[in-house]
Structure 1
Amino acid sequence: MHNMTGNKILLRALEPDDLQLLYQVENDQSIWEVSGTINPYSKFVLKQYLDNAHRDIYEVKQLRLVIERVDDNFAVGLIDLYDFDPRHKRAGLGIVIFEKEERRKGYAGEAIQLLSQYCFDHLDMHQVYACIGADNAGSQVLFEKNGFVRTGTRQDWLLRSDGYQDELFYQLIRNVH
């Protein structure tokens, strides 16, 4: 897979020297509720993950890319395709921008646009979807700004520290003329 480049960011494959980056992200408890993580990952486990990150999306059913700023190649986040289903031509999309000061600069929106276009043009996908916690207004606006439509609600889907929360289901369906 080649790098996908936009105006502000580029998406690139994980490299062996991304181990420390993955270690910090996967062990950041502030994002565990949205990532589904319940315990920390060791560097050994993450190294094994990196060693297999080159495997084909059709084999492993997921793809994780690093979001880098174009001007200085600084990694600002990660974007994932998960639950890739070639039979039904769909995949889930998840994104994280690491630092608050890097948010609201257009990086996430451009990454979503680039990866969605890759899904439609190169993977022949019919749709990309996102599952967003009902309290995550920022992500809801982000996905809506990028063409995703809220199509459903899973009630009491996510167990958080303060109780159950609904999860909102968003879809971006390829416009075929």
Structure 2
Amino acid sequence: MRDFFIRDTLFLRPLEPEDLDLLYQWENDTRLWKNGSTLTPFSRFALRQYLADARQDIYQARQLRMMIVEKESNKAAGTIDLYDFDPLNGRAGVGILVDENFRKKGHALQALLCMEDYAFSHLKLRQLYAFVPAGNIPSRALFEKANYEETAVLRDWISLNRSFTDVIVMQKINK
């Protein structure tokens, strides 16, 4: 595997059919829905189809999801995504999920740096961005630590429990 997918304590790998149960658990954890745009649970069938389609090239699918794997245990610790891939304008969104059993170990930052390296050096992207709910302090701290800048606030962008919350747009420009 290329060096841009490997860091000190983890590596990124493509999705495998064996990831179905873990993806099912994460995608259907309603506590996590507030950080994304999920409104309904995913069936195993839908996730099986997603895994089958994950073999598509990023230029076809316009997205790439990789598993974050802890080297020491060789266990999947989370996922990291490039989404809304726009090769014409040289940008993509980035999203990350680290399982609660693997948090506070630096995995999120290492995974983000791996994906940045891939996006900037291999895909030749100009920028990555993330939409972070204003109340998601750990996520904001992660992107700040990775030198993303807060560039905009989208007011009342996400509906949470019958009220709305702001989203912070964070960007990293590859100069």
Same fold (TM over 0.5): yes
Matches within 5 A, 1:1-177: 2=2, 4-99=5-100, 101-175=101-175
1:96 counterpart SS class? strand
Identify unmatched segments of 5+ residues in structure 1.
none
Amino acid at match of 2:129: Y
Shift of 1:162: 4.8
Q: CA RMSD in A?
A: 1.2
Query: Where in structure 1 do 4 or more consecutive aligned residues deviate above 2 Å?
Result: none
Q: Deviations over 1:108-146 (max 9, x none)?
A: 000001101110000000000010000011111110001
1:51 counterpart SS class? helix
Shift of 1:77: 0.5
Shift of 1:147: 1.1
For 2:75 and 2:42, locate their aligned partners in 1 and report how far apart those are by CA, in whole Å.
23
Query: Contact 1:2–1:12 at 8 Å: present in 2 too?
Result: no
For 1:55 and 1:155, locate their aligned partners in 2 and report how far apart those are by CA, in whole Å.
35
Shift of 1:98: 1.2
Query: Contact 1:10–1:68 at 8 Å: present in 2 too?
Result: yes
Give the fraction of aligned pairs with identical amino acids, expressed as a percent.
43
Structure 2 CA distance for partners of 1:89 and 1:117, relative to 1, 3 Å: same
Amino acid at match of 1:55: Q
For 1:86 and 1:98, locate their aligned partners in 2 and report how far apart those are by CA, in whole Å.
30
Query: Contact 1:86–1:125 at 8 Å: present in 2 too?
Result: yes
Shift of 1:2: 4.9
**TM-score, with normalisation over the residues of structure 2?**
0.96
Query: Contact 1:158–1:165 at 8 Å: present in 2 too?
Result: yes
Shift of 1:79: 0.4
Identify unmatched segments of 5+ residues in structure 2.
none
Query: Contact 1:84–1:90 at 8 Å: present in 2 too?
Result: yes
Shift of 1:103: 1.1
How many residues were matched structurally? Answer: 174
1:95 counterpart SS class? strand
For 1:37 and 1:109, locate their aligned partners in 2 and report how far apart those are by CA, in whole Å.
24
For 2:2 and 2:63, locate their aligned partners in 1 and report how far apart those are by CA, in whole Å.
16
